[in-house]
Structure 1
Amino acid sequence: MKILSDKDVSKVLEDVTRDTLLKVYQPHLLESLRKLSQTPESLPGRIVQASTTRSSDSTHLFMPSVAPSEVGLKVITGGPTNSKKGLGFVGCVLVLDEHDGSLLGVLNGKTLTAFRTALASSIPMVRVLDPFECEILPQVSVFGSGLQAYWHAKLTVILYGDKIQTINLINKSLHNAEVLQQTLAKEFPNKSFTVLSYADESQAEDVHRAVYHSSIILGCLPSTEAVIKKSFLNPDKNVPKYINLIGSYKPHMLELDSEVIHSEFNDGTRIIVDSKEHCLHESGELVQSKRTAENLIDIAELCSQGSGGSVRVTSRSNITISKLVGLATMDVSIGKLLLRRSHGGVEIGEF
């Protein structure tokens, strides 16, 4: 049995390249999602329970997975006090042997969660926008400044390389966006950066301009108001616009202007999701625009289609939307892979 701290997880992920993403990480997670789509009962309902400790304002979430090759449990805790301390959600992932239930490992959930989400986001993205052959605008716009924003920006730049010249970091707090810019600039010194606050009215035109010149738009904000406006999008039908959303996780939350869905996705064009069931319960963009399962296609189904698949995911205005809420099976799947690839951590011979 092995224990991986957050530092251990980050160490394993230092080997992430375009090659390892396309040939190791993406295929591994996609196979897990394919198996999950064939056995939907393998993702039981989560338990959400407010703390019964008098001095605690935390909520605990227990999310099991009993998928064919991914058996385990993700446990996370969050609340107002955690947020004030800058902790956000604190948690871990337990990975069990799918045959006998023995504990294979425990991983800190912080970086693992952000990486697996960005990885899942990248699977349909490279299918719609081939990183080797597509013609895209040279900018990417990222809404958010946390670990999710970091990993989504990082994987996108790794995958699309020289096709991306400028990274626009757009956040409510300009300071937090500047901190993220400093981190990314060390890893991508040849890229230029623009840092903007969508809450600053004097920067409204700059935000509009940034998104207008982006083919890839990444939403990583837990927002209750749409920050990605339809008017921001480049209207040229020859310009692809790929909008990936992961920030909203409750019905009252949304990042994208509902008008985009109403105007572009009422003609049979599908929205890409990680899980139809979970997205229809948790995604404000889909709940508020009254989408149904027939309006969606999950990642596994999308990737099982041939190159000329019958299901259309790009609108007539060349807009594609991907919406992910995250599944415990993803955590267990990638956690299991990281345990195998790790040369560090703490090994326990007998547990």
Structure 2
Amino acid sequence: MPLTILSRSNLRELLHSLTRDEIRTLQANLSEALREYSTGSQDKGCSATYQPQRTAITRQNGCTTLFMPATTGKTLGIKMISLQDGAKAGCAIERSGYDADESDSNSNSRRRVSSARNSVASISSEMSDLSVGSSQEDGGSVSPTATKDSGGDSTDSSTLLTGCVNQQPVISKTLGAWPGAGTRDTSPRGSVTLLDGESLPFALINAHELTAFRTALASLMIFNKRKKVRTLLVFGAGTQAYWHIRLALTLRGDEIRRVYIVNRSFDRAAKLLQDIYLPENSDWRRDVKFSAVSSDFGDYFRILKEHVRKADVIFCCTPSLTPLFPAEFLTSREGRQKGRLIIAVGSYKAHMAELHPDILRDEVNVTPPHRHFHKHTRRSGVVVVDSLDAAIKEAGEIVQAGVKPKQLVELGELLMVRHATLNDDGQSEEKGLTEWVEKGNVIFKSVGLGLMDLVTGGDLVRLARERNLGTTVDDF
């Protein structure tokens, strides 16, 4: 069995060479895997009930390593990534989530599938009149009851066991909300090992670029369905920010007009802009206008508020301990005059938060309707996540906001509901769900899954072999 080794530079070269059609194919394969993860039985290899548990160890030097095994039923893999996060030394294995008394995995799988199917009727009846400019202030929620299981790129071994929340201030003094100057690089270091159905290794991939790329692929599944993506706001200037911007413009660049980048360090934001404006990036960059701002700017608060209010899509890609902007930017009457897609992928511990908890509370706590005469976007009643069990324990925004499991819906469940309601013309018959995804207020929180690395990594290895990229060991 030949073994293909993709270094960080190999993988970056491959990712930069991908066409729009190839990216869409990668995204479609990942979409199918996430749908099976959320709704499949144990007969489906991608099903949550068929995924091994992860383990984390923290060494005496404060470096935490997370071991994330996964399987599609046909291939196996494990991702090992480390961060110098200063946690206490020890070892932890992931426990089942909030529903610990459910021991039968097959029963859990059936419960998960039934939940997702029941959500079709729930979304149809409760969201059929959800729109911008409705004549009612509130009312109508999407509440598909999600269940477990887990995954995610957290590296805090304590959250694997307890999910405890460290009390943190909700807004930093600068409103920038990033770790202070000199803080360590939060990008994970490690690798992904892939094995075939006979447990023979066929690939070894550097995890840094893969993690950012596959996260952006998942984030943009909802982005692809949005009606309006004219203005993007991106918090952060690292690898995650780069791939969210690049994939967004590659997939829908002809509709995007402005990209605002907000970062604590203006120098780093400027470096990101330099990379974007390289001559070889002109095809996907097009004539989109970019601008950058940092928390050092004298008029930062006013500019930040203006950017948030103008944005059609907000990408949060920072390891922030405190919210990136005040909740009222989005929760006030002015803030809810239009629907936005808000994607948060940067925080990875229960005490971290890119979004103010009040933003999530405002979205999920639906009150009885009453008449009004101002334009607004109605509350959906849910937050979308990649893995419910992991989000409940590790997503700081969700933990701190006290969002309940019934107020969360997995991305895979949304994909399943849409797939189940397509008519012969390929159009969804669920008008409420379609309007919400296309125009409503949608919050997506991602903590990551080992399955995402396995599926996307395997596809990338096949493309690398076609392009003769990487190092091949013929008889490993």
TM-score (normalizing by structure 1):
0.89
Distance 1:70 1:244 in 2: 30
Structure 1 residue 300 displacement after superposition:
1.3
Q: In structure 2, what is the equivalent of residue 110 of structure 1?
A: 208
* Equivalent residue in structure 1 for 2:363, among 264, 280, 295: 264
Q: Which runs of 5+ in 2 are unaligned?
A: 41-46, 87-181, 367-379, 422-427
1:219 corresponds to: 316
1:120, distance to aligned residue in structure 2 (A):
0.7
CA distance in 1, matches of 2:325, 2:22: 31
Q: CA 1:308/1:125 → structure 2, altered by over 3 Å: closer, same or farther? A: farther
Unaligned runs of 5+ in 1: none
Output the CA distance in 1 between the equivalents of 2:409 and 2:183.
37
CA separation of 1:261/1:251 partners in 2, compared to 1, >3 Å: closer, same or farther?
Answer: same
| Contact 2:234 2:262 (C-alpha < 8 Å) held by counterparts | yes
Match for residue 196 of structure 1? 293
Note if contact 1:274-1:323 (Cα within 8 Å) is conserved in structure 2.
yes
CA contact (8 A) 1:167 1:193 kept: yes
After superposition, the Cα gap between the structure-2 partners of 1:19 and 1:91, relative to the gap in structure 1 and judged at 3 Å, is: same
1:303 match: 415
**Deviation, structure 1 residue 337:** 0.5
Which of 289, 292, 309 is 2:401 aligned to?
289
The whole-number CA distance in structure 2 between the counterparts of 1:235 and 1:335 is: 43
Give SS of 1:164's match.
coil
Hey, what's the Cα distance between the residues in 2 that align with 1:20 and 1:226? 35
User: Is residue 2:459 matched to residue 1:337?
Assistant: yes
Compared with structure 1, are the counterparts of its residues 165 and 311 closer, same or farther at alpha carbon in structure 2 (3 Å cutoff)?
Answer: closer
- Contact map agreement 2:52 2:70 (CA 8 A) in 1: yes
Does the 8 A contact of 1:270 with 1:313 survive in 2?
no
Structure 2 Cα separation of the partners of residues 119 and 235 of structure 1: 31
* Whole-Å separation in 2 of the counterparts to 1:70 and 1:274: 21
Q: Deviations over 1:276-308 (max 9, x none)?
A: 111111101111111122111111110122324
**Matches of 2:267 and 2:435 in 1, distance apart?**
36
Does residue 171 (structure 1) correspond to residue 263 (structure 2)? The answer is yes
Displacement of 1:117: 0.3
- Distance apart, 1:21 and its partner CA: 2.6
d(CA) in 2 for partners of 1:171 and 1:232? Answer: 18
Instruction: Determine if the alignment matches structure 1 residue 47 to structure 2 residue 55.
Output: yes
Contact 2:235–2:263 (Cα < 8 Å) also in 1: yes
Higher relative contact order (CA 8 A, sep 6+): 2
TM-superposed deviation, 1:42: 2.7
Question: Percent same amino acid among aligned pairs?
Answer: 30
Tell me which of 224, 228, 231 is aligned to 1:135: 228
Residue 43 of structure 1 deviates from its aligned partner by 2.6
Alpha-carbon distance in 2 for matches of 1:164, 1:198: 25
Bigger drift between 276-285 and 297-306 goes to 297-306
Which residue, out of 428, 447, 454, partners 1:325?
447
Letter matched to residue 319 of structure 2: P
What is the letter of the counterpart of residue 27 of structure 2? Q
Q: 2:85, 2:408 → 1: CA distance?
A: 34
1:191-235 Cα deviation digits (max 9, x unpaired)? 221111135453111111112111010001111111133333493
What amino acid is the match of 2:30?
L
Secondary structure in 1 matching 2:243: helix
Q: What is the identity, as a one-letter code, of the residue corresponding to 1:231?
A: E
Change beyond 3 A, Cα 1:15–1:235: farther
| Secondary structure class of the residue paired with 2:16 | helix
The answer for the alignment partner of 2:475 in structure 1 is 350
Secondary structure in structure 2 of the residue aligned to 1:225: coil
1:149 aligns with 2:241: yes
Q: Distance in 2 between matches of 1:295 and 1:80?
A: 30
Matched letter for residue 8 of structure 2: D
Letter in 1 for 2:316: G
Give how far 1:257 is off. Answer: 1.7
Residue by residue over 1:84-121, the C-alpha shift from the partner in whole angstroms, topping out at 9 and shown as x without a partner, is: 67584211000111x21110110001111100000010
Q: How many residue pairs were aligned?
A: 338
Q: 1:91 — aligned with what?
A: 190
**Distance 1:40-1:86 versus aligned 2 partners, 3 A rule:** closer
Question: Which whole-Å CA distance do the structure 2 matches of 1:319 and 1:288 have between them?
Answer: 20
In the alignment, the residues of structure 2 paired with residue 328 and residue 30 of structure 1 have an alpha-carbon distance, to the nearest angstrom, of: 14
Cα distance in 2, alignment partners of residues 245 and 336 from structure 1: 25
C-alpha distance after superposition, 1:152-175 (max 9, x if no partner): 111112222122111111011111
Q: Secondary structure at the match of 1:29?
A: helix
1:51 is displaced (CA, Å) by 2.0
The 1-side partners of 2:352 and 2:32 are apart by: 30
CA deviation vs aligned residue, 1:125-165 (integer Å, no higher than 9, x gap): 223x0xxxx234x3210001110011011111222212211
Residue 229 of structure 1: aligned partner: 326
Partner Cα separation in structure 1 for residue 383 and residue 460 of structure 2: 30
Is 1:278–2:370 an aligned residue pair? no
Which piece of structure 1 moves more, 209-218 or 298-307? Answer: 298-307
Deviation at 1:178, TM superposition (A): 1.1
1:59 to 61, 64, 79: 64
**For the structure 1 residues 176 and 115, does the alpha-carbon distance in structure 2 shift closer, same or farther, using more than 3 Å as the test?**
same
Let me know the Cα RMSD of the aligned residues: 2.4
Q: Secondary structure at the match of 1:281?
A: helix
Give how far 1:185 is off.
2.4
Residue in structure 1 matching 2:77, options 72, 76, 101: 72
CA 1:266–1:151: 2 relative to 1, 3 Å: same
Q: Judging changes above 3 Å, is the alpha-carbon distance between structure 1 residues 78 and 141 closer, same or farther for their aligned structure 2 residues?
A: same
How does the TM-score come out when normalised to structure 2?
Answer: 0.66
CA apart distance, 1:70: 4.3
Name the counterpart of 2:217. 119
Higher-Rg member (1/2): 2
